[in-house]
Structure 1
Amino acid sequence: MIPVGTRMPKFPLEAMLANTFLKAFGPLVVGLGLLPQAAPYTVHIGTLPVEWITVDDGLPQGMVRAMVQDRTGYLWFGTKDGLARSDGYGYTVFRHDERDSLSLCADHISALCEDRAGNLWIGTESGAVDRYDPRTGVFAHIVRAVPSAVAMPRAVRQFCEVEGRGMLVLDVQGTVSFAGSGAVREVAQHIEALSCGRSNEVWMLGTDQLVITALQADLSRSPLKALALPATTAPAALLVDTVGDRMVMVRQDQVVLFDRKSRSPTDTIVLHAHDGDLGASMLDGDKLWLGFRGIAGAWCVGLNDGRSVRNGFAEVNGGTLPADVVVNTFAKDRTGNLWIGTTGYGVLLHRALAGRFHRLFQGSSPWLVKADRAGRYVVATTDMLWLNPPDSLVRPIPLKEALAPTGRGPSWSCSKRDDDGNWWACVTLKENKLLRYTEGSAAPVSVPLGTQEEPLMLVDCDSPDLWILASSTVGKPADLLLRFDPRALRITARYALPFALHEVDYRAISAMHFGAGGTLWLGTRQGLLEWRPAAQQWTVHRHDASDPRSLPSDRIFSLCPDPDRPDSFLWVGTEDAGLARMDVRSYTTTTFDVRAGLPNNTIYGVLADARHQLWVSTNNGLCRFDPRTGATRNYSRNDGLAGTEFNRYSATVGADGNFYFAGTNGVTWFDPNTLYDEMGPSATVITGLGLANTPVA
């Protein structure tokens, strides 16, 4: 008897050919010398941001040996103590029950596979195989375990479904069996890995040969090709790439690529010495993920350029992940997320969007302002920090040091940089003043407005001029909007507001937009104000409870012109009443809220990207909103955001096209163009019916 865990002895070519199955391949065996020259190999070091999922989250056990996502979207996890199914909210655990003959055959799961009919195949450490029918919820026992007193257990290593034939099962002893509706039949021995080629082709990797055969309906084999290899019993893998129409062989320290049509090797990548046997492998487009037994981390190998990265793991939600995490298995879901099963630490989830969202100043709650028109100066106003300098080194803006002796900062944290490079701010000293600072000068200088008007706040807007919220009487609420030429140092226009705007806990003007024909729009806490130059008067748009087509709220945080028809529609973000689209000709609105898929009804910021989609920051995450169809895609901290709750007055676009949103846990910035390659969602499946939170049949 061979002890459990002992490797099988090496089988030379003659021994392989002596096998009835392989004997017919003698004339077809070719040498490995046909392989192309390997490219130079360098290992790079990387870090994968991951979420850590453990038994505390619902997994039955921390040793996760197999994972698969089925066609309905469920994720299945095979562990050492049961089979777990996740619907994204919780886990259902299946275990063997001696009282139920239709329950799972054993608890230690070693392999999983979904077949073309949608059944789940479950391989176990004892060698038993079950087939689970999701339509009936019944486990059919296909292969019974061999009692350990008779022979050593044959743990299932791998499944492989042959088109039009059925399921092949490979165990750790190298035996390939056919598990159909009838009796189990042995197909081959001394196999390290197998995979399916075109139609009924089966690729089998032996200890010193790669054998390709056609499996007939009666399970007879027609030899197609065999490739002689250096003898080894080290674990190996065969992975089919249906997109590139190639087969990938991982064996010893090499990755060999084969053209599936010609069955010939086309390229070789030499792996760096890793001092560990292959433990896990998965194809991910033109990348190959590898895990090695006893070696912490996950290797990612580029199949096109041979670039290899050894990745460690960093837990994104504040947990302390051990440094010695060894990979057991990989899986990828339909949204592109990478799932990593470990040898005792549960599952690591690397989201597809990780690395696309960037985080700054976590632990703080800043506001943002685009200080210049071009967006070269995006400033976190709490500490007056320049977020997007060309060298990427965040630093204070010059105005901060200049104002330091005063002990004061810009009113409502709003500062501007004019086209000549001068910095401007309204600052309260003994009285409210408009200050200008030229870099290199000794100190800011006060710029008088030449009237009795008191400057209260610079308005954040896209204009070469400064727009100043002011009071016509010192000490009174704001009742004027001034347009100020920073070069001529004079007021060029005065707009008497229709009523006084009060500043208590909020900016009196939260958003400003320049519409067609010189129209001016102001978002306030007291409604939406519209100035039409032809009429030389203001129109105030407010919520009317008797009119469902009016604005949903008077409390406005953000304004954004429609990306398709900017002269016809204006998008209005409100507090606790959703996102409204106003027709600027008829003044009717259509409102979108949580019932339309938005994550929250408080809309802090709205930005339009180059694809004419709207990005909406809320109290409960970020939303990409399609103004044409109303389709939504919501993002949360789990997708890589700095935090889920955003701040008002804190959404802007940099000169490089990156979007910046600030919230209660720092700043999130990203390139919106990188977020359009996600896969579609899984089909909706009814998994249960409940009445008053009680399950019913």
Structure 2
Amino acid sequence: MIRSLHLAASMALVLLTSGLVHAQKNRIDTLLLPFRALTIEDGLSQGMVNTILQDKYGFMWFGTKDGLNRYDGYTFTVFRQDPEDSTTLRNNYIHSLYEDKQGRLWVGTGEGLELFDRDSERFIHARAGSTPIRDIVLGIAQDAHNDLWLARNNGLAKLTFTGKTSSDGMPPCTIKRYLENSCLVSSDRAGTIWASQYDLNSFHVLPNHAGNDVLDTLQLDRPVGNTSTGRSPLALTGLTTIEDTVNRKLYGLHMFGIAQLDGHSHRATSLLEVGTELGQMRGTNAAVDPNGRLWLAIHSGIYLFDPATRKFSRALPRDQNLMLQAQGGAKCAYRDRNGLIWIGTSGYGLVTYDPRSGRFNTVKTASCGSMQALPDGRVSVAYHAGFLNVFDPATNAWPTWIPWSEKVDDPALDMLSRANRVFVRDERGIYWFNHEGILTYDPVQDRITRVARDTAAIRAFPEETYNETFLLEGDSLIWSGSAQTLCRFDRRTGLFHYVPYPRSRLGDSERFLHAIDRDDNGILWLGTATGLYCYDRRKNGVARWLVYTHDPSDPASLSSDIIYSLLNDPKDPEVLWVGTNGGGLNRLHKRTGKFVRYNSKHGLPNDVVYGILPDEAGNLWMSTNKGLSRFSPGTGAFRNFDASVGLQSDEFNRYAYCRQSDGTLFFGGVMGFNYFKPAELTDDSTNSPIRVTGIKLINGTLDHRAEGSPLDRPAYLSEGITIPHSANMVTFEFATLEFSAPEEHRYQYKLEGFDGDWIIAGHDRSAVYTNLDPGTYTFRVRGDNRDGIWDTQGTAFQLVVLPPWWRTWWAYGLYLFALVGGVLLFIRIRTVGLNRQKEMLERTVAERTAALHREKEEADRQRERAEHSGKIKQQFLANMSHEIRTPMNAITGMTGILRRNAHLPEQEKYLDAIAKSSESLLVIINDVLDLSKMEAGKIVLGSVRFDPRAVVQGVQEILRFKAEDKKLYLRMDIDPMVPGSLQGDPTRLQQIIMNLVGNAIKFTTEGGVSVNMTATMVDHAKALVRINVTDTGIGVATDRRDRIFEEFDQGQGSTAFKYGGTGLGLSISRRLAQMQGGDITVTSEVGKGSTFTVSIPFALAKDAEIPHGQDPGVPSGTRPDGSLRDLRILLAEDNEFNAMVAQDELADAIPGVQVDVAVNGRIAVEMVQANDYDLVLMDVQMPEMNGHEATRAIRALDGAKSRIPIIAITANVLKEEVERCKESGMDGYVPKPFRREELVNAIATATNETLRGS
């Protein structure tokens, strides 16, 4: 069936050309060639290709009916007309292309001549003087004087360039016209112009730059063609020229054939005359291949003419899918710098042909089954379709098929036709075949014989065995095999001998024998479907078997159990090469039994190895499912060949390979076979240019025409780019401009300054880099040519990554300036601050300590409360605090007034009760606020240097009076090892100790309270401080020791009733300790007392200890020094009782004070405007105008009244409210209920600041 299809295809080709052969002067042969195609599906703008050019940079250009195309081997860039852009083509129909000696690219269109500006990729509309050239430009050529000649639809024209290029890029020129009808024009290397009229004469033009051009009419050496158009029989009509630069010959293609031209005369020698059935050769375009053959693009197809032999052939594609491209007519032919032939077709795109593809001799036949080299130089070939033939490579001919036929009346014929894909031919010319036994065929006697098995063999193995392959040994033995046994047949005696295979872990049912080879030691190597078998008969006549199989856990085992081919290395007897099905090539070292594997990961094109043959150089040649491969064992390198270089197909067959004595190798496949001498296959050492074809930044392709683009010209013309640091993801795209098989090119690249070595990119033609540091880099890329030879030079492209603005030289200058300025400013501020601090500390350190400590404690409570509560809860707490503190201020104040004034002795206890109740209520409010802040996470711990001794001593000073009232002792014991300077929050530490000592005093009726402070060094920078508070009070029951730290726990009901409190103190204290990395524990015995232990780690302060007497971490206020007198104060207060308290307290504390009262903010502003006050005490929440509004109104007044000190007196103690007071312009803040000392200190501070500022 395959053979019949092959013959049918051949008949179709014969019929296709039969009409041409009948009428032409010369016989036309048909060549089936491995063409490749490029169509609109590949990106070509349109299928009719009128002109082809390769520019000086290596790019291919194609002119079509719909646009100009530039091709880099992978992608097309299309240039078309844009009616809204005057720098694009005037017309999309491209007739001609020409690159002149100056490297300028000229484009002939259906509406004039265009000059392509490569830098801007725009088109300059050519003109002569101010006159545009708008004719159809069919051809372009340049003479020896660098003038351009244009073949137009209305005649021949010459452009003479007269000066430097104009501002728009067009070189100034004049135009001179010759002839009058449609013309063709071409030039040779000497600069001679050859011109032709379509239907009349052709001319040898002798150009003259001054304009005295001479046109000599060309004549043939003999008449050709007809004279129906009025032409002379000797005229060359419709001439185009093509030059063979290697053989220094110039050919003219004319309407009726091919002639050889003489560049120094007007005579032409006819080489070929063709009939008009070719569609006339007028305007035929041609190219000369490296062998000197002319490739002709004719309206009726693609033809080849060999001037040396005068052989004229038609070229058709081997691939039937490309038949339309070849049959549809050709428009132009071109040979690029690598010898590749390009054909532009009339509507079907492009086809290419690589003349180097003929390096492998190809014989197209049906699918080959088996091959054997014969002693006389011929080769026997068996086919899957059931016939046998002999091929003579010397004559490239088949003498005849082996003549078995229907005349052979033998029942074994049918068996033979099914068996002959595998054979062996012995020294007598007898063919031996395997199929359900052994068959022989004697071509001389035309006789088929079935070899009967002897009786002993039948008795031992009664079932027929299926044999797959043969091995001849000497002149008598034939080795074969089956799934069960190795078979030896003695041709002299006719006896069979069967050797059972050893057992295999893979079983016996599929153990088909695919390959047999015998080494120099007489050992048989068997390649089967279940592994590799070694049969050694050398030792005392006792056979020894070795079996090699695939072990997934052993990389030194056989790569696949199915073996197709074997070769004992002709240069190393210790090596056996094994070709497998799916496992690639294996190298067995016979002595060690270890395998080395080679597969597609190492360069083998396919992992099915059908055949292995050696060459004289020690290389191995292998046939696969993806072409042939040459392997060099010394280097481990593979060189692969596929159908694109002329192989019969990419797919080869098992058994179809052999080697002749002269070194010629044969490999057969599904569409015939190839034969070649490896020594004659030379690699191409030339390199094609490699270009950077595109740059991407962050996945966006750079367009050099876009405003602000880093590229000012196309990437392939640019030497480098500069990019900002923000665009730090760069992709380089590149291509080797060699077009025979672009997809096979491999690449290596590196970025100097980033990559240490070359990156192996394989067939990937892009490189991506990200996160490049600022600097200058050089991107280098190189590729290999079509024979795998690497270009050592490649191309380079510079990349500059700019630093971010904060790393530029001017930024560093600013940093230096800022650093110097900052140091100077710091020194200045520090000096001023230290002087001021020294001044204030010397005068007020003692007075301010207590006041600022109270302010800090109150502010902390307010902050903790504000940070915990949500908006609604915070407002509620603020309102409740304000509403309670406002009347409390009056209560506590009036209590103090009554105590200072004369009263009855029996009234003292009532006043004392009022004072203590007020103080307890204030403690409750403060505890609730602290707890709220903690739960909201709004308490921020401070970090200042402090003296822990001062903290403990401060607690003693505050609480000793309470202890004395209960006749209790209060002792403080501080270990000398306690550091004098720690880093932390002394206020919170004091709060914890105050709570613990306060509770101890509260729950103790006899004895007293002891406080002991010790410290243990954790490391060189940290100390663990322990404070033990021990009392002789009521103690804590064991089951309540953990619960006392819970919120609102007050002990047993009777205890809570007796001692009072909120149950928050211990909870708050433990939380504060834990926030500082510590904890509080308790040991206690009911009726004997308790010990609470605070353990907190503190960092050691690096600087000197705090000066003696300074409060731990809290700045002090100002205490009145006696100069506070005769003040006139305005009190803005809407509460009558609070106003009375403030007036009385101020009158008692400040001699000569005068206090005026305003019941709201509006009246306060009016009174400030009308009177001179030393100070304003401002309530915040008042009717009509609140304290904030009143303060801002006062600050807006003119003159000195806007600077009057204003102190807020408010019951709102939240941090936000304090900040609002400062923001509105108040100078101080005193919470309600206020203590007289606190208020007086605030007044002293405000008035002193005013005096210093005045």
TM-score by length of 1: 0.73
Q: Hey, which of these two has a bigger chunk of helix by percent?
A: 2
| Deviation string, structure 1 residues 589-646 (Cα, Å, up to 9, x no partner) | 554433343322222222345676544322333334455552413213x555554333
| 1:661 paired to 2:668 | yes
Residue in structure 2 matching 1:486, options 491, 510, 514: 491
SS at structure 2 position matched to 1:487: coil
Partner of 2:742: none
Gaps (5+ residues) in structure 1? Answer: 1-40, 472-476
User: How many angstroms does 1:284 deviate by?
Assistant: 2.5
Q: Which amino acid aligns with 1:238?
A: T
CA separation of 1:282 and 1:351: change in aligned 2, threshold 3 A: closer
Q: Is the 8 A contact 1:457 1:468 kept in 2?
A: no
Partner of 1:210: 204
Compute the displacement of 1:87 (Å). Answer: 4.8
Once the two structures are superposed, the pairs formed by residues 441-480 of structure 1 within 5 Å of their partners are 441=447, 444-448=450-454, 450-451=456-457, 452-453=460-461, 455-457=465-467, 459-461=469-471, 463-464=473-474, 466-470=477-481, 477-478=483-484, 480=485
Q: Kindly state the Cα deviation for residue 404 of structure 1 after the two structures are TM-superposed.
A: 4.5
* Aligned partners of 1:386 and 1:397 also within 8 Å: no
For 1:154 and 1:318, the matched residues in 2 are separated by 35
Structure-2 residue corresponding to 1:424: 432
Aligned to 1:278: 283
Deviations 1:301-356 (A, max 9, x none): 33334x14152645622466389633210023466543321233433444533794
Does residue 634 of structure 2 align to residue 633 of structure 1? no
> Secondary structure of 2:29's match?
strand
Residue in structure 2 matched with residue 243 of structure 1 by the alignment: 246
Q: Summarize the alignment of residues 362-377 of structure 1 with structure 2, pairs less than 5 Å apart.
A: 367-370=369-372, 376-377=379-380
Question: In percent, how many aligned pairs have the same letter?
Answer: 27
2:348 aligned with 1:359? no
> Partner amino acid for 2:30?
T
Q: Which structure 2 residues correspond to residues 155-554 of structure 1 after superposition, within 5 A?
A: 155-160=137-142, 168=148, 170-172=150-152, 173-177=155-159, 181-182=165-166, 183-186=171-174, 189-190=177-178, 192-198=184-190, 201-205=191-195, 209-212=203-206, 229-230=218-219, 234-250=237-253, 255=258, 257=260, 263=264, 268-275=269-276, 276=280, 277-285=282-290, 286-292=292-298, 295-305=299-309, 307-311=310-314, 313=316, 316-318=319-321, 321=324, 325-333=328-336, 336-352=339-355, 353=357, 356-361=361-366, 367-370=369-372, 376-381=379-384, 383-386=386-389, 388=391, 391-394=398-401, 402-404=410-412, 414-428=422-436, 433-436=437-440, 438=442, 439-441=445-447, 444-448=450-454, 450-451=456-457, 452-453=460-461, 455-457=465-467, 459-461=469-471, 463-464=473-474, 466-470=477-481, 477-478=483-484, 480-490=485-495, 497-499=501-503, 508-531=512-535, 537-543=544-550, 545=552, 548=555, 550-554=557-561
SS in 2 for 1:357: strand
Mark the CA change 1:604 to 1:335 in structure 2 (over 3 Å): closer, same or farther: farther
1:620·1:644 contact (CA, 8 Å) conserved in 2? yes
Larger radius of gyration: 2
* Residue 644 (structure 1) aligned with residue 650 (structure 2): yes
Relative distance call for 1:447 and 1:343 in structure 2 (3 A) is same
| Alpha-carbon distance in structure 1 between the residues aligned to 2:586 and 2:45 | 46
Question: How many residues are aligned here?
Answer: 620
SS at match of 1:97: coil
Answering whether residue 580 of structure 2 is matched by residue 574 of structure 1, we say yes
- Which AA in structure 2 matches 1:359? K
1:75 deviates by 3.9
SS of 1:321 mapped into structure 2: helix
Partner secondary structure for residue 96 of structure 2: strand
Greater Cα shift, 617-626 or 676-685: 676-685
Do the aligned partners of 2:412 and 2:450 also contact (CA within 8 Å) in 1?
Answer: no
CA distance in 2, matches of 1:324, 1:423: 44
- Mapped contact 2:47–2:64 kept (Cα < 8 A): yes
Distance 1:60 1:555, change over 3 A: same
CA–CA distance in structure 2, aligned partners of residues 416 and 606 of structure 1: 17
Q: Deviations over 1:559-610 (max 9, x none)?
A: 23456x2535443222223233445566555544333433222222223456
2:135 is matched by which residue type in structure 1? P
The answer (yes or no) to whether the contact 1:239–1:249 under 8 Å persists in 2 is yes
- CA RMSD, aligned part only? 4.7
Deviates more, 1:535-544 or 1:55-64: 535-544
Q: Which deviations, in whole Å up to 9, do the C-alpha atoms of 1:641-674 show, x marking residues without a partner?
A: 55433343443457994624233xx433444569
The residue correspondences of 1:26-105 to structure 2 (distance < 5 A) are 43-49=26-32, 50=35, 53-69=38-54, 74-88=59-73, 91-99=76-84, 103=88
Summarize the Cα distance change of 1:237–1:470 in structure 2 as closer, same or farther, 3 Å threshold.
closer
Higher relative contact order (CA 8 A, sep 6+): 1
| Shift, 1:405, TM fit | 6.6
Residues 266-304 of structure 1: CA deviation (Å, up to 9, x unaligned): 982343154432331222242223345xx5134433333
Single out whichever of 309-318 and 569-578 deviates more from structure 2: 309-318
* Aligned-pair CA distance for 1:158: 2.6
The answer for the alignment partner of 1:13 in structure 2 is none
Letter in 1 for 2:470: D
Shift of 1:122: 3.5
Please identify which structure carries the higher strand content.
1
TM-aligned CA distance change 1:265 to 1:528, over 3 Å: farther
Contact 1:105 1:128 in 2 (8 A): no
Distance 1:531 1:220, change over 3 A: farther
> Displacement of 1:112 after TM fit?
2.9
CA distance in 2, matches of 1:503, 1:523: 14
CA distance in 1, matches of 2:660, 2:86: 63
Distance 2:698 2:453 in 1: 67
* Amino acid across the alignment from 1:46: D
Report the 3-state secondary structure (helix = DSSP H, G, I; strand = E; otherwise coil) of the residue aligned with 1:595.
Answer: helix
Specify whether residues 590 and 324 from structure 1 end up closer, same or farther in structure 2 by C-alpha distance, changes over 3 A only: closer
- Equivalent in the alignment of 1:7: none
Determine the C-alpha separation between the residues in 1 that align with 2:440 and 2:311. Answer: 53
Unaligned runs of 5+ in 2: 1-23, 220-231, 702-729, 732-1254
* TM-superposition CA deviations, 1:102-138 (whole Å, max 9, x none): 65554222223456787755332322223363xx6x4
Within 2, Cα distance between the matches of 1:143 and 1:417?
A: 74
Q: CA deviation at 1:534?
A: 5.2
Q: Contact 2:371 / 2:379 at 8 angstroms: preserved in 1?
A: no
Name the SS for the 1:358 alignment partner.
strand
Q: Which moved more, 1:623-632 or 1:240-249?
A: 623-632
Once the two structures are TM-superposed, the CA of residue 204 in structure 1 deviates from its matched residue by: 4.7
Residue in 2 that maps onto 1:18: none
For 1:123 and 1:568, locate their aligned partners in 2 and report how far apart those are by CA, in whole Å: 68
> Which one-letter code corresponds to 2:158 in the other structure?
V
Question: SS state of the match for residue 517, structure 1?
Answer: coil
